[in-house]
Amino acid sequence: MPERLRRLESAFQRLPIYFVTACTHNRLPVIGRDDIHTAFIRFAEEAANRGVRVGSYVLMPDHLHIFVVIDDRQLTLSAWIKSMKNALSKTLRSQYVQSPHWQKGFFDHVLRSSESYSAKWDYVRNNPVRAEFVSKWNDWPYLGEIFDLDFRDDRV
């Protein structure tokens, strides 16, 4: 099996906005629910105390999409995502959902312009519509925005 590419530890932008997707183990539909949504919001709000700002997000039954900025040189995106997965797993365990809960790793992409942020958000927020869970994206109860991550060219 070929060796996986290593994740970049730094980006060229001063405070890049990351677009992150994480999937549940075997794509089991265990995270698009009220208790996980509440735990996610609490975790994302508390993350601001550690230099992490979560912007827009969508929790689907078997995966999540988030936009995030990390303003702490001691904290990597990988470490923060691992912490988030652990926090949400704690909620799942309290509801007797068997482990494992998450696929290993996650997908991330550094946004390069306000257009890509807008385009990504337009695509992501319509996931529940494409999956035919709702007819309008704003009817999906498991999406929102914790902080406004307005893309600025001065992040470079």
* Mean pLDDT in residue range 75-100: 94
Going along the chain from its start, the domains and CATH numbers come out as: 18-155 (3.30.70.1290)
* Mean pLDDT in residue range 95-119: 89
Cα-flanking dihedrals φ and ψ of residue 18, to 5°? -95, 140
150: alpha, beta or left? (left if phi > 0; alpha if psi -120 to 50): beta
To the nearest whole percent, how much of the chain has pLDDT over 70? Answer: 87
Residues 31, 113, 45, 12, CA torsion sign:
positive
CA distances from 107 to 50, 65, 77, 81, 110 (A): 22, 9, 11, 11, 10
Q: With cut-offs at 50, 70 and 90, classify the pLDDT of residue 150.
A: confident
105: alpha, beta or left? (left if phi > 0; alpha if psi -120 to 50): left
- Decide: 33 and 62 in contact? Cβ < 8 Å: no
> What is the side-by-side strand order in the sheet with 143-145?
107-110, 18-23, 63-70, 52-59, 143-145
Residues 105, 109, 110, 114, CA torsion sign:
negative
Residues 88, 148, 114, 144, CA torsion sign:
positive
Give the 3-state secondary structure of residue 105: coil
Q: With cut-offs at 50, 70 and 90, classify the pLDDT of residue 154.
A: very low
